[in-house]
């Protein structure tokens, strides 16, 4: 068994998130990929939409894709949620041996040093980075130095240890961001094909992002 954890605001979830989650699960040979919307994030501005709505949209988006799981552990928690606390909870539940992969986009890796107790994350899970259009691996600064000691090129090692490695995966690049979906909706434009139809319908029904 090996599990992937893909966190984010998902405000709203879109095809960039969904293809990334699906491809990472397949490429790495993970048993399941959990898409985990944050509650009240500590390291960035609050999402526009309630955690309950953001979670509901993720749930609709992954319905029918059995290895993708909508995970509500952060939205259930009140107050600010920090990834390091969530991973500690995962590790306590999963035990010491199960490989866990915290999956993030390249933009998140570049800013990883702004996350609470960021150096501890890799002791709790591997960190897997998805390429994202417009972002490259940092080559200078404290994140770059930290990467150099942990980067592996053989993804097979991720399944042989519970945590501790950093892996960068090449995948289908989809230059989509939730900001663009919010802006389009705000201007009255369609977001069809940027997210599953069930999410489009949910947004319309609840009059979100207007």
Q: Using CB under 6 A as the criterion, which residues of the chain lie in contact with ligand ATP when the complex forms?
A: 8-11, 16-17, 20, 104-105, 107-108, 130, 132, 174, 176-179
Would you say 94 or 115 has its CB closer to ligand ATP? 115
- The contacts of residue 202 (CB under 8 Å, 6+ apart) are 53, 56, 57, 60, 208
Pick between residue 96 and residue 190 the one whose CB is nearest to ligand ATP: 190
The alpha carbon torsion through 141, 146, 150, 155 (nearest 10 deg) reads -50
Q: Mapping DSSP to helix (H, G, I), strand (E, B) and coil, where does residue 151 land?
A: strand
Cβ proximity to ligand ATP, 135 vs 146, nearer residue: 135
As measured in angstroms, the least distance from the Cβ of 179 to ligand ATP is 3
Q: Which residue is nearest to ligand ATP (CB)?
A: 105
Q: How far is the CB of 61 from ligand ATP (least distance, A)?
A: 12
- The least distance separating ligand ATP from the CB of residue 96, rounded to whole angstroms, comes to 26
Residue with tokens 């397949």: 26
What is the smallest separation between the CB atom of 89 and ligand ATP, expressed in angstroms?
Answer: 19
Q: What is the largest CA-CA distance in the chain?
A: 49
Of 1 and 113, nearer to ligand ATP (C-beta) is 113
For 194, the 3-state DSSP assignment is: coil
| Residues near 152 by beta carbon (within 8 Å), at least 6 away in sequence | 158, 165, 166, 167
Nearer to ligand ATP, 17 or 126 (CB): 17
Q: Under DSSP, is residue 60 helix (H, G, I), strand (E, B) or coil?
A: helix
- Distance CA(103)–CA(51), nearest Å, equals 20
Report d(CA 165, CA 76) in Å as an integer. 29
* Backbone angles phi and psi of 159, in degrees to 5: -90, -5
3-state secondary structure of 46: coil
DSSP single-letter state for residue 195:
B
- Please state the closest distance from residue 37 (CB atom) to ligand ATP, in A: 8
Kindly state the smallest distance separating residue 138's Cβ from ligand ATP, in Å. 14
Q: Which is nearer to ligand ATP, 17 or 53 (CB)?
A: 17
């Amino acid at each position: 068994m090996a599990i992937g954890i893909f966190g984010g605001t998902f405000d709203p979830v879109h095809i960039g998130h969904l293809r990334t989650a699906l491809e990472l699960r397949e490429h790495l040979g993970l048993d399941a990929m959990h898409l985990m919307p944050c509650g009240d994030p500590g390291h960035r501005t609050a999402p526009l939409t309630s955690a309950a709505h953001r979670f509901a949209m993720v749930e609709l988006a992954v319905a029918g894709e059995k290895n993708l799981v909508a995970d509500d552990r952060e939205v259930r928690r009140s107050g600010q949620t920090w990834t390091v606390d969530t991973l500690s909870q995962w590790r306590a539940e999963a035990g010491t041996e199960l490989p866990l992969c915290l999956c993030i986009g390249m933009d998140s890796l570049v800013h990883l040093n702004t996350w609470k107790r960021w150096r501890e994350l890799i002791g709790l899970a591997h960190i897997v980075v998805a390429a994202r259009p417009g972002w490259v691996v940092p080559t200078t600064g404290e994140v770059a130095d930290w990467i150099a000691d942990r980067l592996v090129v053989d993804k097979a090692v991720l399944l042989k240890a519970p945590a501790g490695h950093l892996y960068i995966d090449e995948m289908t690049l989809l230059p989509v961001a939730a900001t663009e979906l919010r802006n389009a909706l705000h201007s009255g434009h369609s977001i069809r094909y940027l997210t599953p139809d069930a999410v489009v319908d949910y947004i319309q029904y609840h009059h979100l992002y207007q």
